[in-house]
């Protein structure tokens, strides 16, 4: 009898050795069951913040600026702070606001504090001389009604925001210096197959390379699942998955494509530099050159737009406009002109914040403090040094590093989109197909050479053409936004100056750069020549002033390979090792509106002691049944 049992055990063991994926699933199931037992023996889960009842019909757009300002520009006063707060949230970007709405939906009383004069972070828009400009959200993917992203967005906005489709060719890659040569244009279309077929027509000799590239895009489609799981499960479970090698078995895409760079993939596929540049174009969406970013991240961003790109009806400020109202309807508050100068820590626990008010500080206390100010800001400037340096998150700042900054050019034009020949798409303009070398050479320029240099890469957007309500609100006017990457060090000598009063030398430098960018744009869109009624340039110092990033960072922490490897993936999570302190936004997920949104959901999951990702999936099933 014993020998029979041993023989059976030996056969089962041998079978598991020969089928490691099954062994991995068994171990993971055991870990999951244990984690559930720990989870349910801990704090009782709060109310589910998701419900089909939260989504209401889209209402008429509120265009009156005074009414919008009444919602988005509520100045801080101590008397406006609600009593019996559950949570104080630092920052009103998508990460902070989404946490605020989800907590409020679960019955928590929240206060959101914004250092700028209006709520919204990178979703905010500004008005000047009759023109309206977006600042940080230029397009969004996965906004079809069945997408996870859209379902979550509808929950935090009440479903009151619409996302009109951009052109079928949502991104156009333009390679070549338009001042000296004919530019080659390569459109990226709604639908993976359309773009692939178009690229093959443009590069017929590279058909095999293009086919293989798109095959790798499909194979890497689950890259972000592994990354997300390392943040969603308890930290000890995440370390167990990594240390035992189970990650290699269960999340093969994450492991494989997190360790290979975009440049390595392209170099293995082709020697055609123009094709490499075309397939790399979207690196501007995360700010890292092909040799320093993982193919997994790049593929995630490219696939995000496979089914097309969307904009926001009424402009990006419509998102915080709706979210503020939800928070306030549920007893919370969103206050601006409220710069947090310090996170108050008592006996090792975060218990409140100090808000700078004139020469004084107003102290506000709550059981939980959430920061959407970014990891660097939080650990280098807001926390007491003796507390910050003991955290496991503190070393990640140097290990990962901060992202680059950028220069923005805001252009107001006379005429509508038909007259100006502008479209509801983005154009990525590169003077040379070798994007990385051109980019590195430009950023290596000393300040005294910057004025003479051409700007070699540029993102072109026409917000007015993307919003179908624009011309009803602003007849016979259009807008253009140009962006290029920049070093903060170029402008550092003027950082102590007041906004709009930094001196003639500063104004001269940024104007020269901006005019070079406008000249390139005019070559690409010749109908705009002579139609410019408004011109302004924002530098890294502008980004610091308006968005609160110390060095004007574009995407918070850098999106290099180290950022997405297991150590940083596990440590950069919502719940910190400082009791009472939580992180939200893009630094715990990834850049962009969607990254910040899901960062907010992760943070709310920790605070509510429930897996909101499972709740989101259950909501999707409910919506599908009722459709």
CA distance to 86, 484, 490, per residue, from 569 (Å): 28, 28, 31
Whether residue 583 is predicted with pLDDT greater than 60 in this model: the reply is yes
User: Quick one: pLDDT band at residue 9, thresholds 50, 70, 90?
Assistant: very low
Report whether pLDDT(611) > 50.
yes
Q: What is the pLDDT of residue 40?
A: 46
Q: Specify the pLDDT at position 549.
A: 82
Spatial contact of 138 and 282, defined as CB atoms under 8 Å apart: no
**How many Cβ atoms from other residues are within 10 Å of residue 52's Cβ?**
13
| Residue 39: per-residue pLDDT | 47
Instruction: Tell me the per-residue pLDDT of 100-142, one tens digit each, with 9 for 90 and over.
Output: 999 999 999 999 999 999 999 999 999 999 999 999 899 999 9
Please measure the distance between the N-terminal and C-terminal CA atoms of the chain and give it in whole angstroms.
58
Q: By three-state DSSP, how is residue 513 classified?
A: helix
Tell me what the mean pLDDT of segment 37-45 comes to.
Answer: 63
Q: Are 174 and 429 in contact (CB under 8 A)?
A: yes
| The pTM of the whole model exceeds 0.75 | yes
Q: Is the pLDDT of residue 12 over 90?
A: no
What span, in angstroms and rounded, lies between the C-alpha atoms of 616 and 601?
A: 10
Radius of gyration of the chain (CA): 25
| Pairing state between β 169-175 and 184-189 | antiparallel
Whole-number pLDDT of residue 26: 59
HSE, side-chain direction, 13 A CA sphere, residue 356: 11
* pLDDT tens track for 238-252: 999 999 998 998 999
Give the pLDDT confidence of 151-193 residue by residue, as tens digits.
999 999 999 999 999 999 999 999 999 888 889 999 999 999 9
| Euclidean distance between CA atoms 414 and 509, whole angstroms | 26
The string of DSSP letters for 196-232 reads HHHHHHHSGGGHHHHHHHHHHHHHTTTHHHHHHHHHH
User: What CATH number labels 163-189+307-311+404-537?
Assistant: 3.90.660
- Pairwise CA distance, residues 417 & 464, whole Å: 8
pLDDT tops 80 at residue 525: yes
Q: Is the pLDDT of residue 589 over 80?
A: yes
- Which of these, 429, 374, 442, lies nearest to 403 by C-alpha position? 374
Longest Cα–Cα distance of the chain, Å, equals: 94
pLDDT, average across residues 83-110: 98
Dihedral of alpha carbons 111, 117, 120, 121, sign: negative
pLDDT in tens, 428-478: 999 999 999 999 999 999 999 999 999 999 999 999 999 999 999 999 999
Residue 83 sits at the vertex; the CA angle it makes with 78 and 85, to the nearest 5 degrees, is 105
pLDDT for 349 equals 98
Q: What per-residue confidence (pLDDT) applies to 18? A: 61
Whether the CA torsion 518, 519, 525, 531 is positive or negative: it is: positive
Strands 581-583 and 368-371: parallel
Look at residue 27 in the predicted model and tell me its pLDDT. 54
| pLDDT value at residue 148 | 95
């Amino acid at each position: 009898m014993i020998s029979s049992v041993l023989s059976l055990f030996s056969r089962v063991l041998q079978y598991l050795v020969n089928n490691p994926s099954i062994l991995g699933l068994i171990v993971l199931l055991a870990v999951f069951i244990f984690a559930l037992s720990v989870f349910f023996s801990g704090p009782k889960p709060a109310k589910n913040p998701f419900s089909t009842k939260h989504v209401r019909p889209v209402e008429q757009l509120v265009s009156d600026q005074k009414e919008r300002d009444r919602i988005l520009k509520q100045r801080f006063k101590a008397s406006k702070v609600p009593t019996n707060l559950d949570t104080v949230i630092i920052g009103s970007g998508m990460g902070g606001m989404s946490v605020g709405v989800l907590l409020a939906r679960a019955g928590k009383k929240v206060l959101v504090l914004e250092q700028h004069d209006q709520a919204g972070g990178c979703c905010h828009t500004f008005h000047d001389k009759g023109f309206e400009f977006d600042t940080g959200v230029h397009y969004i993917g996965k906004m079809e009604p069945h997408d996870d992203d859209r379902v979550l967005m509808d929950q935090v906005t009440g479903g009151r925001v619409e996302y009109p489709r951009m052109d079928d060719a949502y991104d156009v890659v333009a390679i070549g210096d338009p001042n000296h040569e004919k530019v080659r244009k390569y459109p990226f279309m709604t639908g993976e197959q359309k773009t692939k077929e178009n690229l093959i027509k443009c590069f017929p000799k590279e058909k095999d390379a293009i086919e293989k590239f798109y095959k790798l895009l499909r194979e890497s489609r689950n890259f972000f699942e592994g990354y997300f799981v390392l943040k969603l499960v308890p930290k000890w479970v995440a370390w167990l998955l990594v240390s035992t090698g189970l990650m290699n078995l269960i999340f093969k895409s994450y492991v494989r494509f997190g360790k290979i760079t975009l440049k390595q993939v392209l170099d293995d596929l082709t020697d055609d530099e123009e094709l490499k540049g075309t397939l790399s174009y979207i690196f501007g969406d995360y700010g890292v050159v092909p040799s320093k970013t993982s193919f997994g991240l790049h593929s995630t961003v490219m696939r995000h737009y496979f089914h097309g790109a969307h904009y926001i009806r009424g402009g990006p400020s419509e998102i915080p406009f709706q979210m503020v109202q939800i928070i306030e309807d549920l007893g919370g508050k969103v206050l601006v002109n409220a710069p947090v100068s310090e996170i108050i820590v008592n006996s090792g626990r975060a218990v409140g914040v100090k808000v700078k008010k004139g020469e004084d500080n107003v102290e506000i206390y709550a059981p939980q403090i959430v920061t959407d100010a970014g990891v660097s800001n939080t650990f280098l400037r807001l926390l007491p040094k003796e507390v910050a340096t003991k955290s496991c998150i503190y070393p990640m700042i140097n290990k990962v590093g901060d992202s680059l900054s950028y220069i923005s050019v805001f252009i107001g034009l006379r005429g509508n989109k038909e007259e100006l020949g502008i479209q509801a798409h983005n154009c990525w303009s590169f003077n040379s197909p070798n994007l990385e070398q051109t980019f590195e050479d430009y950023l290596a320029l000393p300040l005294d050479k910057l004025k003479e240099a051409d700007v070699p890469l540029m993102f072109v957007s026409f917000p007015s053409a993307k919003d179908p309500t624009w011309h009803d609100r602003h007849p016979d006017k259009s807008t253009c936004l140009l962006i290029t990457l920049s070093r903060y060090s170029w402008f550092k000598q003027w950082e102590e100056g007041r906004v709009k009063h930094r001196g003639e030398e500063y104004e001269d430098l940024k104007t020269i750069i901006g005019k070079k960018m406008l000249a390139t744009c005019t070559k690409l869109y010749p109908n705009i020549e002579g139609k410019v009624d408004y011109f302004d340039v924002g530098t890294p110092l502008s980004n610091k002033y308006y968005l609160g990033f110390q060095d004007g960072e574009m995407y918070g922490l850098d999106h290099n390979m180290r950022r997405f490897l297991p150590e940083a993936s596990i440590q950069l999570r919502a719940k910190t090792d400082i009791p009472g302190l939580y992180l939200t936004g893009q630094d715990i997920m990834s850049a962009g509106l969607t990254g910040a949104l899901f960062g907010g959901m992760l943070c709310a999951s920790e605070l509510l002691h429930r897996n909101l990702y499972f709740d989101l999936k259950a909501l999707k099933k409910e919506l599908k049944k009722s459709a």
